[in-house]
Structure 1
């Protein structure tokens, strides 16, 4: 199984983990509620896990423009 971290705003791949067995508590998933899990984690047809997160560039842009938090997508 591959765990792929992608930015939810720009789509950039932030990182990948190649694991046969995954301890979700080590990844911090146990800290998320059900709604957060549903929003952040998606599975591909091949079993890979896609994690929606935020990259440094988009985090910086949100810090510089707080009104962007109101938008679902701020990158066109």
Structure 2
């Protein structure tokens, strides 16, 4: 089972954890609310977990262009 971090805006894979012995506390997922978990976590058919976050490039774009926060997607 892999844990895959992916950018919610550009869909770029940011990182991957292939460790078998991880839990929510080790990943910090226990700090998320139920709503945040529904929004950020998904599970693949092979048992992998996909966590959507924001990559550095998209975060920089959001910082330079705050009005992008109003958009569902700003990467074309």
Interval containing the TM-score (normalised by the shorter chain): over 0.9
By how many angstroms is 1:8 displaced? 0.2
| Count of matched residue positions in the alignment of Structure 1 and Structure 2 | 76
Query: Unpaired segments of 5 or more residues in structure 2?
Result: none
Q: Comparing both structures, which one devotes a greater share of its residues to helix?
A: 2
SS in 2 for 1:25: helix
Query: Unpaired segments of 5 or more residues in structure 1?
Result: none
CA distance in 1: counterparts of 2:2 and 2:26, whole angstroms: 15
Within 5 Å, which residues of 2 pair with 1:29-44? 29-44=29-44
By how many angstroms is 1:21 displaced? 2.3
CA distance in 2: counterparts of 1:43 and 1:21, whole angstroms: 17
By how many angstroms is 1:60 displaced? 0.2
Within 5 Å, which residues of 2 pair with 1:25-64? 25-64=25-64
1:12-45 alpha-carbon deviations (Å, 9 max, x no partner):
0000000212221111111100000000000000
CA distance in 2: counterparts of 1:38 and 1:22, whole angstroms: 19
CA distance in 2: counterparts of 1:21 and 1:56, whole angstroms: 27
TM-score normalized with structure 2 length: 0.96
